Amino acid sequence: MSEFSTVLTESRKFPPPPGFAEKAHLKSMDDYRRLCAEADANPDAYWAARAKEELFWQTPFSTVCEWKPPFAKWFLGGRTNLSYNALDRHLATQGDKVAIRFEGEPGDRRDVTYRELHAEVCRLANGLRALGVKPGDRVGIYLPLIPEAAVAMLACARIGATHSVVFGGFSAEALRDRMNDAKAKVLITSDGGWRKGHVVPLLDNVRASIAHGIPSMEKVIVAHRTGATPPALQPNEVAWSELVASEPASCEPEWVDSEHPLFILYTSGSTGTPKGVLHTTGGYGVWTSLTTRWVFDLKPDDVYWCTADVGWVTGHSYVVYGPLMNGATVVLYEGAPTTPGPDRFWELIARHQVTIFYTAPTAIRAFMRLGEEHPKRHDLTSLRLLGTVGEPINPEAWMWYRETIGGGRCPIVDTWWQTETGGILISPLPGVTTTKPGSATLPLPGIHPAILDKDHHEVRQGAGKLFLLKPWPSMLRTIWGNELRFRAGYFAEHPKYYFTGDGARRDADGYFWIIGRVDDVVNVAGHRLGTAEVESALVSHPRVAEAAVVGRPDSLKGTALVAFVTMKAGVETSKALEAELAAHVTKEIGAIARPDEIRFAAGLPKTRSGKIMRRLLRDVAAGTDSKGDTSTLEDLSVLAALRNDEE
């Protein structure tokens, strides 16, 4: 924890660099305060103005917001289409501008202009319609980070189909569960993708998941990415190239209602299986478009690179929708940061003259360990702005990012948000905010975060749970097919305030410092996981009796996963068994969920009512002493045994 505890005493301050503010979209604290005051004085007028500035509305909206806690609707009566906003709007003025500058892991390159992207999206949209995909139907996307991923998402948006992207690192089992929950009709995949010099067998995974049963699935569309020749297909599969071969390069967008479901993205919760976060069209479009410009200060000649995969929300909002709606040139890199060498990212930045770079703290810490000689070998002077997202950034990594990557001249935007929030809510504005290493600083204008104590009193200065007191346009609308879980997950603590699941601290300047999750969700190397998911993967192994998974602070990954496992009677524990269990989790969920450490235990500490005492396990995992009250422990000897293992 020592690395993180410095957060609380951090006193360095960095005002926007000279010259940056003058050219920025938002230039001063006055700009910021004016917008906040506008939003406070008349929220409807404020949001209506933002919505009209950001999007083309085919039919204007009549009501700005309807808030019946926990349900929000935004820009009611309006009709729009985000594919139109991301593509068609730019054709007249900048059709030949590069929209996607792609680089594959093996080094292949492809520039896709706005005109070409529009054509590809239209062809696929027509192809999907030809397959019978209707507005509101769900379409799964399981692709590597290649231009086709953006094409697939926008093609769905174009015809009003609701996409559900599943990260290519998830296993066949995880894919099946998500497709079944969404009841997807079509799945768009590829033969494979490149990762660390190997091919990830996406199509094999798709076939395995369908073999295990996805009753709703009618057709699989297969792009050709990795093999020397296109893969031989089965009757339920169609080659992407064949599907679009005779389709025209234009396609009338489906003008959908502002509240039409745009996508379902599965994310981890504190209990049970991953939940399908539902985002709708208008509000999500307005906020992702606006925040991309405000937070990244995007300008027409920027080369923007967000390293996230489209399988996560960051890839949805800040690789695809936000930047493309702003007409940016987006760099897309398929592979691993260290393939073929430890300087791959820096070499890409220098060669593509990247100006805005957005990545996760875990990546920054990994680069720090690799040594500064790697970035130093490359000319990184094209960079003018740096961003981070996904987990708290420790001041040491923040300073390294600033000095070694940003040359001391680039503002850093530490952006706090979640899958559920759709877009960035707390972040510096680079021309406005004086930053402090490790703080996400202040809410964006119109956003009302607050730290509340146990009695729901606001903590103006100090620590507590982080809530959002008012709705915002890109908030999740529900959990797909599970309203109860939506209520229980976010509005159980307070019926009108959205609970984030995060703990935070606010300092004397009103700055927010995100401490981390206070529920059983963990951020492992920037990937969000539920400990319950990993537990259920472990107990699905035939020889496991019980499992408890907790996070332990880790200087590289932020949090590492420690699994306490009790085996069924008579099972001998061994190193080989440990490896077998780890492999089992990889098969059930994916390599990102593989425990960093598996500890066999004779029993798990429980309360009298039979609940596993996770707080104690967290302390045992971290090697710290618990000051907690253990009087409800059913079996103190179990705890003692775990402690002894520790010594």
Work out which of 137, 247, 391, 588 binds ligand WTA, going by CB under 6 A.
391
CB 389, CB 314: distance < 8 Å: yes
514 binds ligand WTA (CB under 6 A): yes
Please, what is the minimum distance in Å from the beta carbon of residue 476 to ligand WTA?
10
CB 93, CB 113: distance < 8 Å: no
422 binds ligand WTA (CB under 6 A): no
Please, what is the minimum distance in Å from the beta carbon of residue 375 to ligand WTA?
22
Per CB under 6 A, the segment of 116-124, 415-423, 569-577, 610-618 that binds ligand WTA is: 415-423
Per CB under 6 A, the segment of 13-21, 279-287, 512-520, 543-551 that binds ligand WTA is: 512-520
CB 459, CB 453: distance < 8 Å: yes
Work out which of 418, 441, 474, 559 binds ligand WTA, going by CB under 6 A.
418
**Of residues 415, 350, 425, 422, the one with CA closest to residue 389:** 415
221 binds ligand WTA (CB under 6 A): no
465 binds ligand WTA (CB under 6 A): no
Exposure string over 293-305, b if 16+ CB within 10 A, otherwise e: bbbbbbbeebbbb
Contacts of 333 (CB under 8 A, 6+ apart): 102, 103, 105, 145, 305, 307, 348
Please, what is the minimum distance in Å from the beta carbon of residue 418 to ligand WTA?
4
314 binds ligand WTA (CB under 6 A): yes
CB 547, CB 566: distance < 8 Å: yes
Q: Please tell me the distance from the alpha carbon of residue 394 to that of residue 400, in angstroms, as a whole number.
A: 10
Please, what is the minimum distance in Å from the beta carbon of residue 398 to ligand WTA?
11
Closest to ligand WTA by CB, 124 vs 386, is 386
Closest to ligand WTA by CB, 123 vs 528, is 528
516 binds ligand WTA (CB under 6 A): yes
Contacts of 204 (CB under 8 A, 6+ apart): 172
Encoded tokens for 164: 């559900």
CB 568, CB 547: distance < 8 Å: no
CB 88, CB 493: distance < 8 Å: no
Closest to ligand WTA by CB, 114 vs 511, is 511
Please, what is the minimum distance in Å from the beta carbon of residue 120 to ligand WTA?
27
CB 563, CB 598: distance < 8 Å: yes
Closest to ligand WTA by CB, 126 vs 164, is 164
**Of residues 232, 235, 252, 238, the one with CA closest to residue 58:** 252
Per CB under 6 A, the segment of 58-66, 295-303, 413-421, 598-606 that binds ligand WTA is: 413-421
State the virtual CA torsion across 39, 41, 42, 45 in degrees, nearest 10.
-60
Q: Please tell me the distance from the alpha carbon of residue 538 to that of residue 597, in angstroms, as a whole number.
A: 13
Closest to ligand WTA by CB, 113 vs 523, is 523
Please, what is the minimum distance in Å from the beta carbon of residue 581 to ligand WTA?
25
520 binds ligand WTA (CB under 6 A): no
Residues of span 224-283 touching ligand WTA by CB under 6 A: 267
Please, what is the minimum distance in Å from the beta carbon of residue 397 to ligand WTA?
12
416 binds ligand WTA (CB under 6 A): yes
Work out which of 57, 194, 266, 417 binds ligand WTA, going by CB under 6 A.
417
Closest to ligand WTA by CB, 424 vs 642, is 424
443 binds ligand WTA (CB under 6 A): no
Please, what is the minimum distance in Å from the beta carbon of residue 512 to ligand WTA?
9
Work out which of 247, 259, 343, 502 binds ligand WTA, going by CB under 6 A.
502
Work out which of 164, 359, 419, 559 binds ligand WTA, going by CB under 6 A.
419
501 binds ligand WTA (CB under 6 A): yes
523 binds ligand WTA (CB under 6 A): yes
SS3 state of residue 29: helix
307 binds ligand WTA (CB under 6 A): no
CB 401, CB 388: distance < 8 Å: yes
Closest to ligand WTA by CB, 162 vs 267, is 267
**Other Cβ atoms closer than 10 A to 146:** 25
436 binds ligand WTA (CB under 6 A): no
Q: In degrees, to the nearest 5, what angle opens at C-alpha 526 toward C-alphas 563 and 642?
A: 20
Closest to ligand WTA by CB, 219 vs 618, is 618
Q: Please tell me the distance from the alpha carbon of residue 239 to that of residue 190, in angstroms, as a whole number.
A: 9
Work out which of 389, 432, 581, 585 binds ligand WTA, going by CB under 6 A.
389
Furthest CA-CA distance within the chain: 73
Q: Please tell me the distance from the alpha carbon of residue 48 to that of residue 418, in angstroms, as a whole number.
A: 24
Instruction: Indicate the helix (H) or strand (E) that contains 355.
Output: none
Closest to ligand WTA by CB, 345 vs 417, is 417
Contacts of 220 (CB under 8 A, 6+ apart): 186, 187, 188, 189, 206, 210, 236, 237, 238
Asked if residue 449 has a cis previous peptide bond (ω within 30° of 0), the answer is: no
Work out which of 313, 537, 547, 550 binds ligand WTA, going by CB under 6 A.
313
Q: In degrees, to the nearest 5, what angle opens at C-alpha 313 toward C-alphas 139 and 351?
A: 105
Closest to ligand WTA by CB, 527 vs 606, is 527
Closest to ligand WTA by CB, 555 vs 573, is 555
Closest to ligand WTA by CB, 313 vs 386, is 313
Encoded tokens for 383: 């960079």
Closest to ligand WTA by CB, 492 vs 579, is 492
Closest to ligand WTA by CB, 70 vs 530, is 530
Closest to ligand WTA by CB, 305 vs 417, is 417
Integer CA distances (angstroms), 70 to 37, 307, 449, 479, in order = 25, 33, 16, 12
Please, what is the minimum distance in Å from the beta carbon of residue 12 to ligand WTA?
17
Residues of span 359-388 touching ligand WTA by CB under 6 A: none
Q: Please tell me the distance from the alpha carbon of residue 526 to that of residue 75, in angstroms, as a whole number.
A: 33
414 binds ligand WTA (CB under 6 A): yes
Residues of span 535-574 touching ligand WTA by CB under 6 A: none
| Bridge-based pairing state of the strands 385-389 and 356-359 | parallel
Size of the site for ligand WTA (CB under 6 A): 23
390 binds ligand WTA (CB under 6 A): yes
Binding site for ligand WTA (CB under 6 A): 267, 312-314, 389-392, 414-419, 440, 500-502, 514, 516-517, 523, 528
